Amino acid sequence: MKSAEVVKIREFGLLLKEGDKSDIDCHSIAAKAFEWLLINGQSSNEKSVELVRVKKYGKQVALQVVNYVGVLETPCGTRIEILPKISGEDNCKGSSKRVLLKMLSTVNKLSLQQFEQSSLKTLKQPLFEILIGYFLREVSIVVKRGIRSEYKRVEARSPYLKGQLKTAKQMRQRPGCQNRFHVSYDHFSLDRAENRLIHAALRQALKWTKSNENHRLGRELQFALNDIPTSNNYAIDFRKWSTDRTLVHYCGVKPWCELILSYKSPLSLSGFHKGISFLFPMEALFERYVSIKLQRYLPTNLLLKTQSNSQPLVHHCSSISEKEEGWFKLKPDILISNKHTNQVVCVADTKWKRINENYGSAKIKYDISQSDMYQMFAYGHKYLAGEGEVYLIYPKYSEFTKPLAPFTFSQKLKVIAVPYDLDTDQCELINRISI
C-alpha cells in the first residue's frame, strides 16, 4: 500500500504553505492541503466548528490548528496528526500520543488492555493506524471465538412445503399457481445487527488504512464476513445490538464500531470529500476523562455527576408563564454529593488550558480567565449556598505542578486551582474532599 504523507503537529501549532519546516509546533504542508484547510477549516456560521485560524508567520500566512486532536485527511492525501499539548518540550510526540490513546480508551470504552505494555515501535506508527490495529484485533477475537447466528422469520413462496403453511394466502392463490407454497419458517442466519455493523466498520477501516499489516489482517477478516451484508441503517442496528450472554465476546468490538461508524467531521464541508476526520475536542475529552477517573477514586458514599443543571442562575416570573421559573441553568462539569443526604460536597470545572504558577502578579493572574472566576462564583453560591470550596482543574505540566493558594470570594467561600497529572492520574482534589 502506498503510504500517505503524515504531518505531526501539536495543538495550536502552525501549518505553513510548502517549505521544509518539520517542527512539532510549526510544520510545512503541501499547497493543495493548505488551500483546502484555508477554505474548509474555518467556521462559516454558528453551527460549523473552527478547526484552524489564520495567523501571520513572518511574511507568510500560516494556519494555526486549535484544540481538536486526532487525525484529519485532506483530499490530496495529506494526513495531519494533531496531538495534545501536554508538555512544554519539543520532543514529546511519544508521550503525547500515549496519553491521548489512554484518554480515548477510557472515555470511549475502547479495549486497549495491552496498550500499557505496547512497544516503542507501536507508538512510532501513525495514530490512526494504531487505532485501526486495535479495532482489527477486536474483530479477530470475534471471528476466532465464533460469529454468532440467530433465527430469522422468513416468509416465502416455495416449490416445496417447509415450516408453516400460510393457509389463507395459499387459498387465495390464482389458478395455475398451486405448485407453489406460501410458507413461513425460521432460518438460522449470520445476518444479524451486530454482524452487519462489524462488517460495515471493517469496510470503512479498510478504506482508511494505509498500513500493509492492517490491510492484510483486514482482508482476512473480511473474507470471514463475506456472507454477511453490511448495515444500511446504523442507528437502528445499534439499538438492536443484543446483550445476550452468547455475545460476551462481542462487547469489546461494539465501542469501536460506534466510533468508526458514527464519526463526524467538525468541518462544515461544501464538497463531497469523504476522507478521515477523526477529531476530538480536547476540552470535552479532558472533562470526561477526569470525571471517569475521579469517580473511580471516590469513597463509596459519594456520587459524582457531570453537567448537572439542577440550579438556575436566576428565577423570573414572565408575563407568558405567569409563574416563577429558573433561567440560565448552571452546569458545572463535576458535582460530587453524598448519596444518602444528597448534600453537595464538591463543585469543580475542568479547563483544558495551561496556567503558569510563576505568573502570580495582579496583572497576569496565572493566566486564569476572569470569566472562569465569575463562573465559579456562581457555582459556589448556588450549589454550596456560599460556603465551602469550589475547584478549577487544569492539566499538570512543568509550569503548574501544585495547587495554587486559595482565591477568596468571602471568608466562607473559596476557589482552588489544582493540577491533574495525565501521566499518573493523580489529583489533589481527591485528598481535599471530606468523607
In tens digits, what is the pLDDT along the chain, a chain of 435 residues? 445 578 889 989 999 998 888 888 999 999 999 998 888 877 665 555 678 899 998 888 999 998 888 888 888 888 898 989 886 565 566 788 888 888 888 887 776 555 444 444 555 678 888 888 889 999 999 999 999 988 777 777 777 777 777 778 777 777 766 678 777 867 778 889 999 999 999 999 998 888 899 999 999 999 999 989 999 999 899 999 998 888 999 988 998 898 888 754 454 344 444 566 678 889 989 999 999 999 988 888 889 999 888 888 988 888 787 788 888 999 999 999 988 888 898 999 999 999 999 998 999 999 999 999 999 999 999 999 999 999 999 999 989 999 999 999 999 999 999 999 998 889 988 887 755
Residue with cell 495550536: 12
Torsion sign (Cα): 381, 382, 385, 391? negative
| Cα–Cα distance, 142 to 108 (Å, whole number) | 19
Of the candidates 379, 424, 414, the residue with the CA atom closest to the CA atom of residue 432: 414
pLDDT score of 368: 95
| Cα–Cα distance, 268 to 252 (Å, whole number) | 32
Spatial contact of 332 and 287, defined as CB atoms under 8 Å apart: no
Q: Which residues pair with 186 in a beta bridge?
A: 153
pLDDT score of 378: 95
Spatial contact of 287 and 306, defined as CB atoms under 8 Å apart: yes
Domain ranges for the chain, please list them: 6-146+194-282, 150-189, 298-432
Residue 211 gets the label, from left (phi > 0), alpha (psi -120 to 50) or beta, of: beta
Spatial contact of 107 and 42, defined as CB atoms under 8 Å apart: no
pLDDT score of 333: 94
Of the candidates 64, 50, 52, the residue with the CA atom closest to the CA atom of residue 14: 64
Tell me the DSSP string of 32-61.
HHHHHHHHHSS--SSSS---EEEEEETTEE
DSSP reduced 3-state for 35: helix
pLDDT score of 46: 57
Angle between helices 93-107 and 282-297 (to 10 degrees): 70
Given the DSSP bridges, would you call strands 324-330 and 388-395 parallel, antiparallel or unpaired?
unpaired
- C-beta neighbour count of 220 within 10 angstroms: 13
Q: Copy the grid coordinates of residue 218.
A: 483486514
Given the DSSP bridges, would you call strands 311-317 and 302-306 parallel, antiparallel or unpaired?
unpaired
